[in-house]
Amino acid sequence: MINVLKRGVVVWLVIIFVESLHGIARTMILEPVVGDFPARQVSTLVGAALVVAITFIFVRWLKGSQVIDFICVGVIWVALTVIVEIVLGRMVMNLSWERIASDYDLVSGGLMPLGLLVMLLSPLTLAKMYDEV
């Protein structure tokens, strides 16, 4: 299990790198056209697709053999992502708690919980698709 989790963190680093480039593109290209919040909504959906694509590429490399392996990888990905979102948002981008929370408010149109749900379920779903578990 430890090796699966280590590999999971490596894949998460790929995900967070790609998502960072995606976020830069959103800010530079999409946000000026549609505005901040709509750009973040679209970005969450595109980001979820990127997570699925990256997971599709790497799921066999994780070398998990049990359902719990892939569930734990998904949990770690979500936890690390939320931590990075908060740390970058508060300490690097100097965003308010309200601004960060707006991405997580489904009632007001924040779609981040759905993106995180995709992130959580992608390892197990794609492992099952590949008959890895």
Q: For position 110, what pLDDT does the model report?
A: 85
- CB contact at 8 A, 86 and 12: no
Domain that holds residue 112: 2-129
Report DSSP state, residue 103.
T
User: pLDDT under 50 in the chain at which residues?
Assistant: none
pLDDT in tens, 3-27: 999 999 999 999 999 999 999 999 9
Q: For position 54, what pLDDT does the model report?
A: 98
Number of domains in the chain: 1
Compute the radius of gyration of the chain from its Cα atoms. Answer: 15
Predicted structure pTM score: 0.90
pLDDT in tens, 102-111: 889 988 888 8
